[in-house]
């Protein structure tokens, strides 16, 4: 494991307290820091999302669990736990209830990400209701279609990320600059981002915000069982598998005995998912599929959300300042000493 550099045990790192420059994502989301916590079924609920929003970034509440009554309560709880903005994700493949748009609008939410489905389906209705809509895209064609549908922005998600994936996965390093070169809307990059250097890299490739999934699953405030967090910390960068490569939905998950067996199947089928609750909250890592991204190989500890956000911002500034000092116009002369 390479390990993330951080200000561990040393108080706030360099750049702490330096305001993040406003951009289109901070303006549209109403946040100080353009970091978004990924929507994740059963995980992206008020305990985690409020910690993220209270740290100045954007917490998101999931709907992919399909448990809309519980989600309604979680949104109510968010209002008790934070007075900062937060958003909701509509994972279209999982919430087929046509009333989902009305549900989200009724909750008074201002920001929505739509994912796992056709952007023409809900964008118009959500926009008509006055919401800001970002659609999650895994390829350029999806990005162009979403922009045509009238979204305010895109979450551009590389195939190294955890969770449900297009089986024809494209890495963030390729997808992000490609989409950036073809569209003008603001982009939030997802897939492989867990710290300042990766956030700075995403900005260099055209993003104005980043979304973190695996880093947030393994945060102190994440509600999942400690065994899953420990497995992320222990994982090498090679310790994820891609399931359903030749069917749908594609999935990226931690390598376990179960997922190694499923990796060989053409279609893992409904039984492949297993007993989600036994894994998520019971800690039985073989009971289901522990969705996680390759960046697990760079996560070395379980950290409080506030520290993840603070370290990421500090690392972002350290990275861009370091590059400017080394390669900027006032830096060393071309061809000069290293």
Ligand X SMILES: Cc1cc2nc3c(=O)[nH]c(=O)nc-3n(C[C@H](O)[C@H](O)[C@H](O)COP(=O)(O)O)c2cc1C
Q: Is 162 in the site for ligand X (CB under 6 A)?
A: yes
Cβ(34)–Cβ(20) below 8 Å: yes
Q: Is 256 in the site for ligand X (CB under 6 A)?
A: no
Nearer Cβ to ligand X (40/309): 40
For residue 288, the 8-state DSSP code is B
**Residue from 13, 293, 297, 310 in contact with ligand X (CB under 6 A):** 293
Question: Total residues at the site for ligand X (CB under 6 A)?
Answer: 29
User: What part of residues 82-111 is at the interface with ligand X (CB under 6 A)?
Assistant: 89, 91
Range in contact with ligand X (rule: CB under 6 A) among 13-21, 118-126, 214-222, 268-276: 214-222
Of 273, 299, 307, nearest to 287 (Cα)? 273
Q: Is 59 in the site for ligand X (CB under 6 A)?
A: no
Token pair belonging to 83? 């007075």
Of 118, 267, 138, nearest to 191 (Cα)? 138
Cβ(210)–Cβ(319) below 8 Å: no
In the complex, the smallest distance separating the C-beta of residue 92 from ligand X, rounded to whole angstroms, is: 9
In the complex, the smallest distance separating the C-beta of residue 68 from ligand X, rounded to whole angstroms, is: 14
Write the CA distances from 216 to 21, 50, 224, integer angstroms: 23, 12, 10
**Residue from 38, 48, 88, 199 in contact with ligand X (CB under 6 A):** 38
Residue 95 to residue 322: CA distance in whole angstroms: 45
Q: Is 2 exposed, middle or buried (0-12, 13-18, 19+ CB in 10 A)?
A: exposed
Q: What residues contact residue 195 under an 8 Å CB cut-off, 6+ apart?
A: 4, 5, 6, 215, 298, 311, 312, 315
In the complex, the smallest distance separating the C-beta of residue 250 from ligand X, rounded to whole angstroms, is: 12
CB-closest chain residue to ligand X: 213
In the complex, the smallest distance separating the C-beta of residue 189 from ligand X, rounded to whole angstroms, is: 9
User: What part of residues 176-205 is at the interface with ligand X (CB under 6 A)?
Assistant: 190-193
Nearer Cβ to ligand X (33/43): 43
Nearer Cβ to ligand X (31/296): 296
Does residue 125 sit in helix, strand or coil? helix
**Residue from 74, 157, 169, 195 in contact with ligand X (CB under 6 A):** 157
For residue 294, the 8-state DSSP code is G
Cβ(199)–Cβ(211) below 8 Å: no
Nearer Cβ to ligand X (107/321): 107
Give the CA angle between residues 104, 222, 85 to the nearest 5°.
40
Residue 161 to residue 65: CA distance in whole angstroms: 19
Q: Is 138 in the site for ligand X (CB under 6 A)?
A: no
Q: Is 163 in the site for ligand X (CB under 6 A)?
A: yes
Q: Is 212 in the site for ligand X (CB under 6 A)?
A: yes
Q: Is 40 in the site for ligand X (CB under 6 A)?
A: yes
Nearer Cβ to ligand X (190/231): 190
Q: Which residues would be at the binding site for ligand X (CB under 6 A)?
A: 38-41, 43, 62, 64, 89, 91, 115, 136, 157, 161-163, 190-193, 211-215, 217, 291-293, 295
């Amino acid at each position: 494991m390479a390990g993330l550099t951080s200000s561990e045990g040393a108080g706030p790192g360099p750049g702490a307290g330096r305001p993040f420059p406003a951009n289109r994502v901070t303006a549209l989301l109403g946040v100080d820091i353009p970091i978004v916590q990924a929507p994740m079924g059963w995980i992206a609920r008020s305990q985690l999302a409020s910690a993220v929003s209270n740290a100045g970034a954007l917490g998101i509440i999931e709907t992919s669990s399909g448990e809309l009554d519980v989600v309604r309560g979680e949104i109510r709880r968010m209002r008790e736990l934070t007075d900062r903005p937060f958003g909701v994700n509509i994972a279209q493949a999982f919430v087929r209830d046509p009333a989902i748009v009305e549900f989200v609008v009724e909750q008074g939410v201002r920001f929505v990400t739509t994912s796992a489905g056709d952007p023409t389906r809900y964008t118009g209705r959500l926009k008509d209701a006055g919401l800001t809509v970002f659609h999650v895209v895994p390829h350029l064609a999806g990005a162009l279609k979403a922009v045509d549908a009238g979204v305010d922005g895109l979450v551009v998600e590389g195939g190294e990320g955890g969770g449900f994936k297009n089986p024809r996965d494209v890495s963030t390093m390729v997808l992000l600059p490609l989409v950036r070169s073809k569209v003008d809307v603001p982009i939030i990059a997802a897939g492989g981002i867990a710290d300042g250097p990766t956030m700075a890299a995403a900005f260099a490739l055209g993003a104005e915000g980043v979304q973190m999934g695996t880093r947030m699953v393994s945060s102190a405030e994440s509600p999942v069982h400690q065994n899953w967090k420990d497995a992320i910390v222990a994982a090498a960068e090679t310790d994820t598998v891609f399931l359903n490569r030749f069917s749908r939905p594609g999935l990226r998950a931690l390598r376990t005995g179960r997922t190694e067996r499923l990796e060989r199947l053409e279609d893992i089928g409904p039984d492949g998912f297993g007993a989600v609750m036994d894994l998520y909250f019971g800690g039985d890592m073989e009971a289901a599929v522990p969705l996680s991204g390759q960046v697990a190989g760079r996560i070395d500890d379980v950290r409080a959300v506030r520290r993840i956000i603070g370290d990421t911002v500090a690392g972002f500034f350290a990275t861009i300042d370091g590059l400017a000092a080394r390669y900027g116009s006032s830096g060393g002369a071309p061809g000069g000493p290293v």
